[in-house]
Amino acid sequence: MTEKAAPHYPISLKAAIPHILFLASIFYLNFIARIIFAPLLPTIEKGLSISHTEAGSFFFFISFGYFSGLLLSGFISKKITHQSLIGLSAVLIGGILLLLATLTSFREIAACLVLIGFVAGQYLPSGIATITHLVSSKNWGKAFSVHEWAPNLAFITAPLLSELFLRWMTWQHVFYVIGSFSLFFGILYLKVGKGGRFHGHAPNLRTLRILFRTRGFWVMIFLFGMGMGGSLGVYTMLPLYLVSGRGFDQAWVNTIVGLSRVSGLFMTLVSGWLTDKIGPRKAIGIILAASGTVTIFLGIIKRPLLLPLVFLQPLFATCFFPAGFAALARITSHEMQNITVSFTIPFSFLIGGGAIPTFIGFTGDLGAFGAGISIVGAVTVGSILLLRLLSFHEETT
């Protein structure tokens, strides 16, 4: 994979940081557009008169769109450069959010959620390909840790923004704000964004045969699924669990859940350093074991000891992604990275971002919110056994 406009890549990590931060800004808006429903869910439930299961299915609709978008991203990035696709994705997310802000029908909202997921799915393969092209593999862990500030910052600000707007406005106004910013940053990246000025590779029978025969591909699907489940899946249903399942005040919950994610801004840097130090395989094992164990107790413990666990659980859960992406970038050749990401993440997202919150919502309807969360934690701990099956392609620098 080459970039004719910048044959000097890879560049030093220091020189690449401004470019990675710009990508992180796009990723932040991409991510918050998909998780903003979590803190708004209790209000949306009442406004639309829907059940916990239907509310949880919002994230399944997003996951379905995200799944489709990721699978098709290789065909799109083959036609336009990664840089153009990143900017265009942000612009379209902004437009869909502005439309969503005008809707009140459950069916119409569900359709828009699928569209948001599809457009958002175009970003990650192009973003990962751009970062791994910017810096050498020895710095991938650190580079991804900076990039992962985006979802962690989204986890922090989503409930705080929601609570701020709900004091004076309706939940729809949140979409006006996020949509406008996404439009602005998307247009800006199209004009001045650096890196990614090369095309991706579309999947074909030969590349798919290679990918599907790669054992690490199937292992990473499940590991990413549980990593997403511990972070995104639990997060999306945590406000509803604390409000409906544990009787906490909604305003208090949104504030606490947002503050609990502050540690992720620092822990991703620790995770990136740890990944480059001991390798992604060992780092993933440590992180999933810690995250899953705390998640088990999050579903068991009741007030007042529940509050420390709300802060402790994301401390470990958010650490997965620098190690996870560093591992994912190594399971196939550099030329196949965008295809590997575009096929791994959608299946993983269906597990962690779709099935897990829907499952937790289902257990909530049965009056067992806590049990659902604890089961997710137990499966997360068990998933580390798959690391024995994980092997990497020969690294390139």
Of the candidates 294, 290, 287, 178, the one whose C-alpha atom is nearest the C-alpha of residue 234 is 294
**Residue of higher predicted confidence among 202 and 154:** 154
Q: What angle do CA 322, 323, 328 make, to 5 degrees?
A: 100
Cα four-point dihedral sign 274, 277, 278, 282: positive
d(CA 84, CA 72): 16
Cα four-point dihedral sign 309, 311, 317, 319: negative
Residue 47 has pLDDT above 80, yes or no: no
- Residue located via tokens 């751009």: 130
pLDDT of residue 373: 93
Read off the pLDDT band of 118 (50, 70, 90). Answer: very high
- Residue located via tokens 């965008």: 338
The CATH number of 13-389, from 2.60.40.10, 1.20.1250.20, 2.60.200.30, 1.10.10.60, is: 1.20.1250.20
pLDDT over 90 for what percent of the chain? 29
Query: What is the pLDDT averaged over residues 61-81?
Result: 87
First to last CA, the chain: 12
Read off the pLDDT band of 129 (50, 70, 90). Answer: confident
Residue-wise pLDDT tens digits, 160-209: 888 888 888 887 888 889 999 999 999 999 998 777 777 777 778 888 89
Helix (H, G, I), strand (E, B), or coil: what is residue 51?
Answer: coil
175 in Cβ contact with 73 (< 8 Å): no
* Average pLDDT of the chain to the nearest whole number: 85
Of the candidates 122, 155, 154, 127, the one whose C-alpha atom is nearest the C-alpha of residue 143 is 127
Read off the pLDDT band of 394 (50, 70, 90). Answer: low
Residue-wise pLDDT tens digits, 9-39: 777 778 888 889 999 999 999 999 988 887 8
